Copies of this chain bind each other. A is one copy, B any other.
Amino acid sequence: MILALSLSALVGCTTEKDASSQETSAPYQGSRDEKYVMVTFLSGIEYWKGAFRGMEEAAKNLGVQAEYKGADQYDINQQITVLEQVIAQKPDGILVTAINPDALVAPINKAIEAGIPVVTFDADAPKSKRYAFLGTSNYDAGVTAARELARLSGKKGEVGVVTVPGQLNHEERKRGFVETIQKEFPDMKVVSIQDGKSDQVQAAQVTSAMIQKNPDLVGIFATEASTGVGVGTSVKEANKVGKIHIISFDTDKGTLDMVKSGIIDATLAQGTWNMGYWGMHYLYNLRHDLVHPVSDWKTAKVGPLPPYVDTGVSVVTKANVDFYYPGK
């Protein structure tokens, strides 16, 4: 900024008025030396790519750099190590997803105490000092699943759930689904809730048993992607495609292929792009001291950002599934 001003002063083309208007009106022109880093666990999976694409697009708009660093395993210590290494490089901000709610509290707080803005996405570390969390409201996703299944089945009939009991995100998806069926659709009933153990084969087995026990079943909500493919396999084997409607979760290739072929009626895509895009904006705004909910939030000890953003789910059907294959 200062460099730009002095150079334009040298040539005299840019007038005083231009310079000052540029200065006050372009706070969103970052420096290419600025670097913001996304940190995840399981770095190889497709799921994070949408989030990083959003972060990169925001960084491009803001004129700064975005970088991705992942721990390749599902391993707490490995993610802590990667995060510590990123902190040591003193980036301008960190967008991090937490492998577990407690494990990253210490390194996140260390970063913030060192003046590095930190925002969490997808999976939160609520006891840390992170400034905001952007992720899917799993309860609301379950509500969406219930309404979509009701629409497909004419708002009547018996439905089931195949889920992963005990995992908070899955419990919330199930609860949103079950409570919405109960509240909004008096002619529908949840007759079976089964454990698919996040496993395609296991999910297919419990689904086959569910179909045998409940011959009038008109729909199944699978709260997870492998589960959904297992449910789809079983419904296809039972020759019930189109009779038993399936709502699944996420957009891995196996799921998208079953949506495309009509076995899975709809899957819920999480707003990963939103997490990256707006998470990057939050970090940039903190870095450049642009947010002022009160005149001096640090002294007032007031949170500078919205604490939680529900990045939502989108319903993916045959009509729009092509937009969700990688590269689209």
Contact = CB atoms under 8 A, between A and B. Distances in A.
Contacts of A306: 134, 271, 274, 278, 309-312
Given A273-B292, A323-B295, A63 B1 contact: yes
A183 interface: no
A22 to B, nearest CB: 8
A126 to B, nearest CB: 11
A9 interface: yes
Contacts of A296: 323
A1 B8 CA distance: 14
Nearest to A274: B306
27 contacts: A1-B32, A2-B3, A2-B26, A3-B4, A3-B6, A6-B8, A9-B13, A9-B14, A10-B10, A13-B13, A13-B14, A25-B29, A26-B28, A26-B29, A28-B28, A28-B29, A57-B290, A61-B290, A134-B306, A137-B308, A271-B303, A271-B306, A274-B305, A277-B291, A299-B323, A301-B319, A307-B310
Interface of A: 1-14, 22, 24-29, 32, 54, 57, 60-63, 134, 137, 140, 269, 271, 273-274, 277-278, 281, 290-296, 299-303, 305-312, 314, 319-320, 323-324, 328
